[in-house]
């Protein structure tokens, strides 16, 4: 069985759906602090899902998963991921993201499980020295979130050398979109990501665009938006790579193309078929002008390439928002 930590959350649930649709049995371990039991209930309609509620900060919780399940490999998503919060409360991020992962790795070591795919981030690179960013770019995080992920990458190197636990670290750029059948999708409280916040804007909620004076073609930040279903497929490719006795390695996951905030805003208006209330605000501190992935390594070694367009991501996100409103109101599960 495949263990997914954080499988009730955004990206973890999309991997769970992809694995279920290809006939895999999975165990989801989630605290439900940020994930949602409604998502688990939806996933159970599509295959063999065992859900265990627990917290990685409690070693007995995660040991219990390995005690009663024959786990072959692990995909590790469970983490806090808000950059601003990590700056204000680094203790929370190091304790959860680093100590929690140590508990997971130690349980894997104890029970002889030696394959893990880790949800890392482009935030480990820090301020870009060049764009597009490849895997050889220096890793100099500028916040506790990025530091916590980089620490885990370093720990995984040591656990490979000492204990033979092989890992693939997937460094995401900007994740977007939802399940193409609107079964699951992004559900954050509060929502901080660009696309859902544009889609949610209406006469009662104005969308705020931060900074229009960057050194980019239209003055707004440029980011690499990778579709969440493409991302899920990359995790499956990473598992297959480890099952072929692949060595510990790391890969950027992005499209290799950049879209500006204005590009995304205009595309959202097109999908919605209406104007979105807009307020232009000053730049936010720490927002680089441009972040775009060089994804050639993932194509070369994992055989992975993104298939979805920005429009696909926005359209699927919009369809999910409609369904999510019904789920929250209790109309449909």
The active-site residue, picked from 145, 172, 225, 241, is 145
Separation between Cα atoms, residue 255 and residue 173, nearest integer Å = 9
Active site residue 95: no
Contact 153, 122 (CB under 8 A): no
Q: Are strands 2-5 and 26-30 parallel, antiparallel or unpaired?
A: parallel
Active site residues: 145
């Amino acid at each position: 069985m495949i263990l997914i930590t954080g499988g009730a959350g955004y990206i973890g649930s999309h991997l769970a759906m992809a694995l279920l649709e290809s006939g895999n049995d999975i165990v989801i371990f989630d605290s439900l602090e940020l994930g949602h039991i409604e998502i688990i209930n939806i996933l159970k309609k599509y295959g063999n899902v065992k859900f265990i509620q627990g917290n990685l900060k409690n070693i007995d919780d995660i040991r219990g998963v390995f005690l009663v399940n024959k786990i072959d490999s692990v995909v590790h998503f469970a983490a806090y991921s808000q950059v601003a919060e990590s700056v204000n409360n680094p203790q929370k991020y190091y304790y959860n993201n680093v100590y929690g992962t140590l508990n997971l790795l130690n349980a894997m070591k104890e029970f002889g499980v030696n394959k893990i795919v880790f949800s890392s981030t482009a935030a480990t690179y820090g301020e870009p020295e060049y764009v597009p960013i490849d895997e050889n770019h220096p890793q100099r995080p500028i916040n506790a979130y990025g530091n916590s992920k980089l620490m885990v990458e370093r720990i995984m190197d040591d656990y490979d050398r000492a204990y033979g636990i092989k890992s693939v670290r997937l460094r995401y750029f900007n994740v977007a979109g939802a399940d193409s059948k609107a079964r699951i999708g992004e559900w954050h409280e509060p929502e901080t990501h660009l696309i859902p916040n544009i889609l949610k804007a209406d006469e009662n909620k104005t969308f705020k665009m931060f900074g229009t004076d960057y050194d980019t073609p239209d003055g707004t930040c440029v980011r690499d938006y990778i579709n969440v279903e493409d991302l899920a497929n990359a995790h499956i490719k990473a598992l297959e790579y480890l099952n072929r006795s692949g060595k510990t390695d790391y890969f950027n996951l992005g499209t290799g193309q950049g879209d500006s905030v204005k590009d995304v805003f205009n595309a959202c208006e097109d999908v919605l078929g209406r104007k979105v209330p807009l307020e232009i605000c000053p730049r936010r501190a720490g927002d680089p002008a441009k972040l775009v992935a060089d994804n050639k390594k993932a194509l070369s070694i994992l055989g992975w390439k993104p298939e979805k367009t920005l429009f696909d991501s926005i359209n699927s996100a919009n369809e999910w928002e409609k369904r999510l409103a019904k789920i929250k109101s209790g109309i449909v599960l």
